[in-house]
Amino acid sequence: MDCPVCKNAMITLELTEVEIDYCTDCSGIWLDTGELKLLLGDPEKAIHLLNSFKIDPSCTEKPRKCPICLKKMQKIIVGHAAPPLLIDKCSKGDGLWFDKGELSHIFNRAQLDKDSKIQKLLADIFGSKQNN
């Protein structure tokens, strides 16, 4: 699978329950739809987070292509806090693309426990200092 930003081949990181695709060049992360729920580990928070996704019709950023179906992805606003956080989502539901730092940002906003899987995962990938 190629990175939608730099087009380089991504590496697969194998975790206990999920595999995520990670670009070593831009530090972007691709998650298949079901993997986000698994990573969150808390169904209620996962649903809350997914329900907060809104398509941003006014976004002027260049659309990226889904690494699976190669169709243009939608820009999605996550949550209600300012400034808005935008991620890319496959309109067919293949998955989500997170630029560097966006995933940890979202999980911070979702107010997960510090020892949640995703925080541990991000610490493993990027080192323990996650400031985003």
Residues forming contacts to Zn ion in the complex (CB under 5 A) are 3, 5-6, 23, 25-26, 28, 66, 68-69, 90, 92, 94
**How far apart are CB 67 and Zn ion at their closest, in Å?**
8
User: Six-digit token pair at 37?
Assistant: 């729920």
Nearer to Zn ion, 93 or 124 (CB): 93
The continuous run of DSSP H or E covering 125 comes out as helix 117-126
CA angle centred on 68, ends 119 and 54, rounded to 5°? 60
Nearest distance from residue 113's CB to Zn ion, in Å? 29
Assign residue 7 a region: left if phi > 0, alpha if psi is -120 to 50, beta otherwise?
left
> Is the CB of 10 or the CB of 39 nearer to Zn ion?
10
Smaller CB distance to Zn ion: residue 32 or 42?
A: 32
Instruction: Using alpha carbons, select from 39, 4, 1 the residue that is nearest to residue 18.
Output: 39
State residue 81 phi and psi, 5-degree precision: -75, 155
For Zn ion, give the closer residue by CB, 26 or 77: 26
Q: Minimum Å distance from CB 115 to Zn ion?
A: 29
Q: How far is the CB of 33 from Zn ion (least distance, A)?
A: 10
